[in-house]
Amino acid sequence: MLFNSIEFALFLPIVFLLYWFLFQRNLRWQNLFIVGVSYLFYGWWDWRFLVLIAFTSFCSWGSGLLIQRYRHRPLAKLVHITNITLNLIILGVFKYYDFFVTSFATIFLDGQTDGLLLKIILPVGISFYTFQALSYSIDVYRENLKPTRDIIQFFAFVSYFPQLVAGPIERATNLLPQFEKPRAFDYSQAVDGMRQILWGLFKKIAVADSCAVYVDHVFAAYQSQGGLTLAVAAVLFAFQIYGDFSGYSDIAIGTSKLFGIKLMRNFNNPYFSRNIAEFWRRWHISLTTWFRDYVYIPLGGSRVSKAKVVRNTFVIFLLSGFWHGANWTFIAWGIFHALLFLPLILMGKNRKFTDNIAEGRSFPSLSDMCRMLLTFMLVTLGWILFRADTISQAWEYITMIPHGGGFYTQGVLTCVICVFIMLVVEWIGRGRSHGLELKCRSTLLRYLIYFILIIIMFCVYSNSESFIYFQF
């Protein structure tokens, strides 16, 4: 079930009404209702994978109880390691098995994979809910969180439908306690949630989907395109993936506000970043902080020798790349960003820009503008690796950009207009939680903005495109 579909447009108001009017008086029944509708939402793609998410949830819930019961005994560590291993094995089999087999066959078996591939359909959002479940058992083991005995609350935490298939990857320390106490309807929060949903839909439908038409055409036949066309397609893909993923996050966070549950922010205007370090503090925040807290810091972080700092940085970015997909292009993308990030952390400049750009001003300084453009160009270069099918294809694409040739114009004006509107709105609201968190007092002006955005979406709407990050 897609957020930008008719099915979800019918699903959401029905769930909202039942949630507040039928199940509000009993917390347990309300949580059970969340589990039920979440499983319906997830099973809309393929009901068979409900067994998988239920198994993951049960194992992590049970491990938390066993860790607490055998605290400070060797058995607690064994349970902890077993749960992590089991979850990673499930993720590995479904997401990476065929990749490893194909890579092995290419090197040692002349590419022959007959009878070796499983050809399993990748469960939607498996990387997201696996990491979410793992964070729970890790936090319990570290004594940062007391385990819950209420299995319904835990299943609601893992399967919560707004963020189930594409994040944000919530921590148990934030989300689980919200299922442990009664929720009260907050009108202002719900209104803000509707605004955020609208903004997310605009970024998905008007920006991402319109850019996708141009980008898909160019990348499918890049060898016959001119250099300017290739450059424009790469830039538009940067905005496509941002509009797609941040749009999903906005819809998820906004939808959750309707149910009185707060999710963490997942994007903070990453394309306004002044260096790569700032970009990664603003892009996919839930994943970045997950790797930071559960991998980077346990390895020693940046408070170790220079050699280990280099190692830790590459480990994080390799894992981040590999998390995104079973392809060498994602690993190369991770290495590329590690090479960009490493000089900053070695020189102690990775925390240089922690404020909002042009704080208290309408426009950035010339130096900040140059830094923004340079950072965006480097990120866009990396997105070519991310988008390409093979590393050689990405390299060929990049080397063709300096060459001349004709310019493919069909649909590009629509993309530029929609991207421009998005950037203007987000620049104006760069110090707020989302683009449509409006501060203007004029009701007429607010509704005029909503109306314009809706009209634009209807004008550019072509078909219901799946979200890019569903594949992860």
> Distance between CA 279 and CA 382 in Å, rounded?
13
Which amino acid, 70? Y
Q: 353 is written with which tokens?
A: 């820009």
Q: 222 is written with which tokens?
A: 């890049």
- Which residue in the list 284, 324, 337, 434 is annotated as catalytic? 324
Q: 337 is written with which tokens?
A: 């960003």
> Distance between CA 190 and CA 243 in Å, rounded?
23
Distances (CA, A) of 128 to 52, 186, 323, 347: 13, 28, 10, 33
**How many beta carbons lie within 10 A of that of residue 123, not counting itself?**
22
- E strand or H helix at 15, and its extent? helix 6-21
Alpha helices by DSSP H, 142-274:
151-159, 172-179, 187-201, 209-220, 227-258
Q: SS3 of 121, please?
A: coil
| Residue labelled with tokens 């559960």 | 294
Contact 145, 230 (CB under 8 A): no
Q: SS3 of 259, please?
A: coil
Which amino acid, 33? F
Instruction: Produce one character per residue of 416-434: b if its CB has 16 or more CB atoms within 10 Å, e if not.
Output: bebbebbbebbbebeeeeb
> Distance between CA 406 and CA 229 in Å, rounded?
8
Q: Is 217 annotated as catalytic?
A: no
Q: Helix crossing, 391-400 with 227-258: angle to 10°?
A: 120
Kindly list the catalytic residues: 324
